[in-house]
Structures are given as C-alpha cells and as structure tokens.
Structure 1
Amino acid sequence: MNRRHCFLAILTFATLAQGHAEDVTMPSRGLCAHRGAMSTHPENTVPAFLEAVRLGAHMIEFDVQLTKDGALVLMHDGTVDRTTDGKGKVSDLTLAEIKALDAGAKMDARFAGTRIPTFEEALAVFPNNVWLNCHLKGGAALGEATAKVIAKTGRKHQAFLAATADAAKAARAVVPDILICNMERQNESIAYARETIAMKAQFIQLLGKGEVPLDAVKLLHAAGVRVNYYHDETPEGLRRQWNAGVNFPLVNDLAKAISVAHEFGIKPLVPQP
C-alpha cells in the first residue's frame, strides 16, 4: 500500500469510527492480529493495522508506551533498536525524536519511511467494530493517560487495556468504565481466572502452547469474561483453542489463520460504521 492509499484508508476508517457506539455489534470470537499483520508488515504501524483490517481481523493488539515528554506511542520493545533505524529507550526519547525514525525499512524496503504512530494516530485508522487490545508497557501513569485518550476519542466500547493491576487501577480512577484485560498472570489458571473475575475485568489473556484449561474457561465464561490466548497459531492449536471456548487467539500470520477460522463459521470482519 503506497502512502496515498494509506492516507485515504486512514480518512475512510476515521470517518467510519465516528459512528455511534450503541449501534455497534462487537465480535464474540475470532482472530486477534498480534501487533497488526506483523508477519508481512512492520509491527505496531499503520500499514500493519490497515492490512489487519483488510484481512478481516476481529481484534487487533498493539503496544503502548510513554515517551520522555509524555506522548503515547506504539512500540513493543523497551528500545527502538530492533524495529527502527534508531537506538535508545523509548522512555529516553522525545516524541520528535521518535517521529524522526524509520520504522518500516528493516521489515522491507517497500515500507521505508513508515513512522512510529502515536496512540491517537493508530486509533484513527480503526473501524468502529474491531476490538482494540491495547497492551500497556508501563504502570499507573500510562494507564491513566491511555484511558483518557480512549474516552476522548469515543472508543470505550471497543478499546480495552491489557494491563497490570496498578495500571488498571489508575485507568479506572479517571475512566471508571474503561474495559480491562487482566495481565497479572498467575501460575495456576483457576487462580488467574478467579482474580480476573474478582477485579471485574472484561478480558483475560491466557498464556500457553495450545493447551487450554477448560475449568478456568468455563468459570470465566460464566462470569462474562472474554478469553484471549497467546500463543499457538498452528492449525491444530487454533482448533484446540476454539473447541475449548477461547474467544480470540492471538496470531502473527493472520492470513494463514483465516482458513482455520472458516472451519468454525468465523468469517472475516466487515468494517462497520
């Protein structure tokens, strides 16, 4: 996708996102595009998100951090070294310094010039009916700042914070009805499930290699908690997860996983205004 098409797509989805949240039907299960369509596009960038939307992702996961001057940007690692042409910790760089980096060329020359998006720039490209899995790479200050942006941009119906307890508490202090995915993982799955239910989180993200704790999933579903799972995107692993009641497996290669989703009657998501 060239820059002109990318810009037009951003405008299109920004317009779609202006729809009324009460009219939006959110997916009950499907595929979560981990860091966007990261197998073919630069992770945590607008091109990766637009490709995930094009392919029909039901949920899109990305990572949020604070810069030195308090801006919210998308980056998985603590440093910019792996994915950009720069070096240094995100927390030691200003937004201007972050924006000067090339976040695409290391993936492929055709993505040269791709920039690290701010949180608001990323939100602007998403349709109104895809779940937004905002993985917070930080504590209370990040939780508060991210929740405020979600509320300001009218995304509370679809964006949730995958956060530790301190970040979740701070987020709820400023936006009480913010959606939370409990990332305070426990070694024992039932304990993790019970803690998630007790904190009134709306999502949980189980961690494993395809084996799903059935008792925990039943407990979570009874309490209305949606279950994400990381990470086994083999066809066999995806089948085990959906058969066990997982709502959203996280996948790196969305295109390959879609064929397995079809076996379960899960169709690519159509953007909804």
Structure 2
Amino acid sequence: MKIKIKLFIPGILISSLYTSAFSQQVTRPLPKSRNAFIVIAHRGSHLIKPENTIASIMEAIALGADYVELDLRTTKDGYLVLLHNDHVDGLSNGKGLIKNLNFEAVKKLILIGRDSSLHHIASFEEALKACKGKINIYLDFKAAEVEKAYQAIKKEGMEHQVLVYVGDHSDYLSWRKTAPEMPLMSHLDHTITTKEALMEAMAKVPLEAIDNAPNETLLPVLRKMGISIFPDVQKASETVKDWKKVIKYGVQGLQTDHPEALIKYLRLAKIRVN
C-alpha cells in the first residue's frame, strides 16, 4: 500500500493561488504517450510473470500499455532494484529485508512465474534499458536515494520518460531540488474538498498527476489546472463495471492489474484507438 502525502495546508484560503498552481503544472509535462487515455500496467503485466520483473515489463510493452508501474528499493550495498514489499519473502526463494541483502545475494534469488518460468529481481538499470523508447515508467519511489535514481535515469537519457510517485514529503522536496523538471505524482488528502483548498495545496506542493480526487466537484478544476488523474483500480477481480465507474468522471487513465483486458475494452468502447 502506498503512503500518502497529505496535500492540505491549513490556514487562509487564497484564491489567487490558482495562477501559481497552474503555471507550475505546464512547466513539467508528463511523458508523451500515443494514446489520449493512459493504461498503466501495475507492477508490469504480472498475471503470469512475477511482478516487477523484466518479463512483466516486456509483456506490458507487447500488450500496448502506455506506462509500467515499478517499485524502487535499495539493497544493503546501495544498488537500486525493483521490489514492492520491503522483504523478499514469498515473492522469491529467499528471506529477509531487501535493505539487509547485498546485490550479489539478491541476484541469486529465484522468482517463479505461474507458467513455471524462472526470473530474478530486476535492477533499476535493467528496467530502464528494457523500457527505453518503448514504454513510459510510473516510478513508485519506495525507498531509495533520489540523486542515485535520477542519475540512473539521466544515464539512459530517460528524463522525459518517467513520472515519479512520491509518498513522503521529504522525497517530494528532494526530487524537486534534485530534478526540478521531473513530473511528480501523489495522492490528494481526503480533507481537500473545495476549489480553494485544492488551489492552496497545489500552490504549496505542486503536482503534475494524482491517483485520486477526494470530491468529484474538483474534477473540472483539476482538468483546468492541467493535472492528470490516474486512479488505482488494480485488483485480482477487476471488471468492466469497475472501469466504467471511474472512466465516466473524465480521468486521463487507469492503473490496472489487467492491462490486456482493459485495452481490449477501451478499444471496443472507442475510448482508445491503438
């Protein structure tokens, strides 16, 4: 589960902050996508292949997803790797916290797909090379050094192919300082229910994308501000009903555990042409 930044700063509501918030949005565009409606493959396409592996990334690319959501953590000796939980238990044949394991030990761990295929925990470098020029990255920044992550992105020339999800305010500040042009995404606090509160929060902590809207009355304001909304609908039992319920609000895309089925539905519904 993601930790949510509380984007609400109590105090005087200043409606003139709208212009400031809007100007922040247009200076950091999201990665370009071929499709107007975005499909984000949650942890890669992992119904068969293990999550966050190179195989799950390659399958998401083959299916035509626009983004692959990847979770970033750090080994004991400072290597960046893809892993959702803070431990390797259950996902692999190993045990322990990723932060307590050296990269050489991590590379030896085995992950087994539902088709009995064998995989390993991917390094961030491997993931970047697999995605470059093929699919955008929604980087869920779990536990890593911002400078090291950004340098890895820069090394591959992928500064315009990554959207970073930050769940911690210190990470937000660090990304803004280290990579001021990098688009950032987080979660709006449930207390933000008015236009004035939204504008004040965004003026204090500008974002380019969010994964929720606490109140549907804020949707027109968010659209006018140029903020994209990519709700999390991912679950094992996603249905067309789940997708329709969210799409009707005019969001810009969805994060899903079923990218193939979602893309098929979007094409049939004439929401997506590719």
Same fold (TM > 0.5): yes
1:205 is aligned to 211
After superposition, the C-alpha distances for 1:97-141 in whole angstroms (9 at most, x for unaligned) are 1111012x1x335322x1111111101111426331000112xx5
Q: Counterpart amino acid of 2:258?
A: D
Cα 1:213/1:31, change in 2 over 3 Å? farther
The correspondence for 1:121, drawn from 104, 126, 134, is 126
**Superposition pairs for residues 251-270 of structure 1, below 5 Å?**
251-262=256-267, 263-268=269-274
Residues 88-107 of structure 1: pairs in structure 2 closer than 5 A: 88-103=96-111, 105=112, 107=113
Give the Cα separation in 2 of the matches to 1:46 and 1:203.
Answer: 26
Point out the structure with max Rg over C-alpha: 2
Specify the alignment match of 1:171 in structure 2: 175
- Structure 1 runs of 4+ aligned residues shifted over 4 Å read 191-194
The alignment partner of 2:133 has SS state of coil
SS in structure 2 at match of 1:68: coil
Q: Is the 8 A contact 2:38 2:252 kept in 1?
A: yes
- TM-score, normalised to structure 1, is 0.79
Q: Name the CA shift for 1:259/1:199 in 2 (closer, same or farther; >3 Å).
A: same
The answer to whether the 8 A contact 1:37-1:252 is kept is yes
Aligned partner of 1:149 in structure 2 is 152
Q: Take 1:198 and 1:221, find their aligned partners in 2: how far apart are those partners?
A: 18
Deviation at 1:255, TM superposition (A): 1.6
- Equivalent residue pairs, number: 236
- Shift of the alpha carbon at 1:197? 5.7
Instruction: Check conservation: 1:179, 1:201, Cα contact below 8 A.
Output: yes
**Which deviates more, 114-123 or 195-204?**
195-204
User: How far, CA to CA, are the matches of 1:257 and 1:49 in structure 2?
Assistant: 17
CA spacing shift, 1:193–1:252, aligned 2, 3 Å? farther
Q: Is the Cα–Cα contact under 8 Å of residues 60 and 131 in structure 1 kept in the other structure? A: yes
Distance 2:117 2:203 in 1: 42
Are residues 199 and 120 of structure 1, via their aligned partners in 2, closer, same or farther at CA, if it must alter by over 3 Å?
same
The answer for the alignment partner of 1:219 in structure 2 is: 221
CA distance in 2, matches of 1:63, 1:156: 17
For 2:142 and 2:120, the matched residues in 1 are separated by: 19
How far did residue 260 of structure 1 move? 1.7
Task: Give the match for residue 181 of structure 1.
Answer: 185
CA distance in 2, matches of 1:39, 1:189: 35
CA distance in 1: counterparts of 2:53 and 2:153, whole angstroms: 18
- Report the 3-state secondary structure (helix = DSSP H, G, I; strand = E; otherwise coil) of the residue aligned with 2:116: helix
Which deviates more from structure 2 when the two are superposed, residues 143-152 or residues 90-99?
Answer: 143-152
Partner Cα separation in structure 2 for residue 236 and residue 93 of structure 1: 42
The structure showing larger relative contact order (alpha-carbon pairs under 8 Å, at least 6 residues apart) is: 2
How far does the alpha carbon of each residue in 1:118-176 deviate from its partner, in whole angstroms, 9 at most, with x for none? 111101111426331000112xx533322222222211112011012211211222222
- Cα displacement (A) at 1:25: 4.1
In 1, are the aligned partners of 2:212 and 2:229 still within 8 Å (CA)?
Answer: yes
- Report percent identity of matched pairs: 23
Aligned pair 1:74/2:82, yes or no?
A: yes
CA contact (8 A) 2:44 2:52 kept: yes
Q: 1:58 — aligned with what?
A: 66
* Rounded Cα–Cα distance in structure 2 between residues aligned with 1:58 and 1:267: 13
1:81 touches 1:87 (CA, 8 Å); kept in 2? yes
User: Letter of the aligned partner of 2:151 in structure 1?
Assistant: K
CA contact (8 A) 2:49 2:115 kept: no
Greater fraction of residues in helix? 1
Residue 48 in structure 1 maps to residue 56 in structure 2:
yes
Q: Which residue of 2 aligns with 1:240?
A: 245
> Over aligned residues, Cα RMSD in angstroms?
2.3
**Contact 1:129 1:158 (C-alpha < 8 Å) held by counterparts:** no
- The TM-score with structure 2 as length reference comes to 0.78
Distance 1:267 1:51, change over 3 A: farther
Q: Per the alignment, do residues 176 and 72 of structure 1 end up closer, same or farther by CA in structure 2, a change over 3 Å counting?
A: same
